[in-house]
């Protein structure tokens, strides 16, 4: 075997070894990235338990938002009905999307991608034990998630409004 063939063979083995190391490092990076992105069950979501039935809880929520001149209902989705349309069962689960552009727009001006989580949403859902819950995104989590700078007052107003709306919804 001549020296050129030996050097070429060694070069190929080195490339293969380097590639395996890079793939291993790449997979490790992907695993670490996935772990960094994972959030705990409750992180970023505030959930309260309602003292009312599902229907009363949801209807109260709709009434509160409808009667607030600063808020506008954008959409309502009944996930249970949608599941039934494809012959699947789901406990009562409804989401209402609503907003106030005077509050949402400054946040979007700061970080437009927050539009993924705006307008605001409140989910009313019932678990297998019949307990009714009301859940929504914590504005402090959205602040961190979208790296919102400034707008402290806007975020405080949103947090206070969501807390008040959901407290009244659940009967506090």
| 62 shares a domain with 24 | no
Predicted local confidence at residue 7, as pLDDT: 46
Q: What is the pTM of this model?
A: 0.76
CB 94 within 8 A of CB 122: no
| 59 shares a domain with 104 | yes
Number of domains, the chain: 2
Predicted local confidence at residue 28, as pLDDT: 66
| 56 shares a domain with 24 | no
Predicted local confidence at residue 19, as pLDDT: 52
Residues of the chain with pLDDT under 70: 1-42
- What is the Cα–Cα distance from 165 to 61, expressed in whole angstroms? 7
| 112 shares a domain with 142 | yes
CB 98 within 8 A of CB 88: no
| 163 shares a domain with 106 | yes
CB 60 within 8 A of CB 150: no
Q: Residue 119: phi, psi to the nearest 5?
A: -70, 170
The CATH number linked to 102 is 3.30.310.70
Nearest alpha-carbon partner for 122 in 48, 43, 22, 16: 48
**Contacts of range 98-104, beta carbons closer than 8 Å, 24 or more positions apart:** 98/65, 98/71, 98/72, 98/73, 98/74, 98/122, 99/71, 99/72, 99/74, 100/70, 100/71, 100/72, 102/70, 103/154, 103/157, 103/158, 103/161
pLDDT tens-digit profile of 143-153? 999 999 889 99
| 121 shares a domain with 69 | yes
| 166 shares a domain with 126 | yes
| 141 shares a domain with 75 | yes
């Amino acid at each position: 075997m001549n020296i050129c063939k030996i050097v070429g063979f060694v070069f190929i083995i080195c490339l293969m070894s380097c590639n395996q190391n890079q793939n291993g490092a790449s997979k490790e990076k992907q695993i670490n990235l996935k772990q960094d992105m994972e959030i705990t069950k409750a992180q970023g979501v505030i959930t309260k338990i309602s003292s009312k039935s599902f229907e009363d809880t949801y209807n109260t929520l709709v009434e509160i938002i409808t009667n607030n001149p600063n808020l506008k209902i954008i959409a309502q989705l009944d996930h249970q009905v949608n599941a039934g349309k494809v012959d699947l069962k789901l406990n009562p689960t409804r989401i209402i999307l609503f907003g106030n552009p005077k509050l949402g727009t400054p946040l979007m001006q700061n970080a437009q991608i927050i539009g993924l989580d705006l307008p605001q949403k409140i989910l009313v859902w019932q678990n297998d034990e019949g307990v009714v819950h009301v859940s929504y995104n914590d504005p402090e989590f959205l602040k961190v998630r979208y790296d919102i700078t400034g707008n402290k007052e806007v975020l405080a107003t949103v947090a206070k409004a969501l807390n008040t709306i959901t407290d009244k919804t659940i009967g506090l």
